[in-house]
A = this chain, B = another copy of it.
């Protein structure tokens, strides 16, 4: 039987800690040439009648032989780039009857069999946070206990969970442009974490004295700037563009999620909004040779040191997501779903065939 799982199922079955535990050895395997990750591709066309939007069909694949799975993650998005506050955002419109469309398909790499289909939303924020959490584990000061977060959206919650999983966090401060959003976020996260999430009126107040700074926004403009740097801080970003180039250039150590970070773009002529994002989102004027930076696999595997001295300024850039992460997280979810008897079972024959494809 092929399992159809919901986001609620995934939320019950997968914690940030479990995802980190599964990803750590898998990242080392990938760094050692075992398994594969297929670089994300974005296919983009104009949306008829909506000049400010594009349709994006984004896919990424990965195979983890040690877990016996491959995964394809698909996003089918109506995308626009509104200006909110000082930052240009990349937003997805829930145009499918008020809902978004993202799927993970999990296959057996031993038989090819389709094991499960599930939405990507819950898994995706957990795996993003797990990667940044591993970055904190290997790069932040061992005694870092004061966390600042820029952002109060969907990704921000799991980012805090990841930080709390790897450090004894005593204080959390949050800033985001909307007072309403950050208050809502603090109210939601404080009981979940058992640590008060303080809301701050400006970024500087939130950041002052923090040993760990989490950038967790949908901004494609920088949200963290050089003047805010303090000795010993660890900067954690869910995309490269969040940290200003001048701040990046002053970091003593930077590690990346993965080297190959340019998504493959296939863009319809005239779908210009997308080009704007491509140009801005990936512009790099830091002077840093990113190809020489260590990756998360290098940190875990011991090929690179995350930090040697307390006063070093470190940064982890979750520069692009990997289909490989969905295979790892999917394997955990699938195993636990089978054990717990969770999900809709559909005949596997619906998703296989008796003719040679």
Q: Is the CB of A113 within 8 A of B92?
A: no
Q: Is the CB of A356 within 8 A of B109?
A: no
Contact flags A279-309 to B (C-beta < 8 A → 1, else 0): 0000000000000000000000000000000
Residue A97 contacts which of B59, B102, B111, B268 (CB distance < 8 angstroms)?
B111
Q: Is the CB of B74 within 8 A of A72?
A: yes
Q: Is the CB of A119 within 8 A of B70?
A: no
> Which of A60-68, A142-150, A179-187, A332-340 sits within the interface?
A60-68
Chain B residues closer than 8 Å to A39, beta-carbon distance: 41, 264, 266
User: Is A87 an interface residue when CB atoms closer than 8 A count as contact?
Assistant: no
Q: Is the CB of B99 within 8 A of A349?
A: yes
User: Is A112 an interface residue when CB atoms closer than 8 A count as contact?
Assistant: yes
A interface residues, tally (CB under 8 Å): 80
Most buried by B among A266, A268, A357: A357
Contact flags A230-247 to B (C-beta < 8 A → 1, else 0): 000000000000000000
**Residues of A participating in the B interface, judged by any CB pair closer than 8 Å:** 4, 6-7, 32-39, 41, 43-48, 55, 57, 59, 61-63, 65, 68, 70, 72, 74-78, 92, 94-103, 105, 107-114, 117, 119-122, 124-125, 153-154, 264, 266-270, 344, 346, 348-357
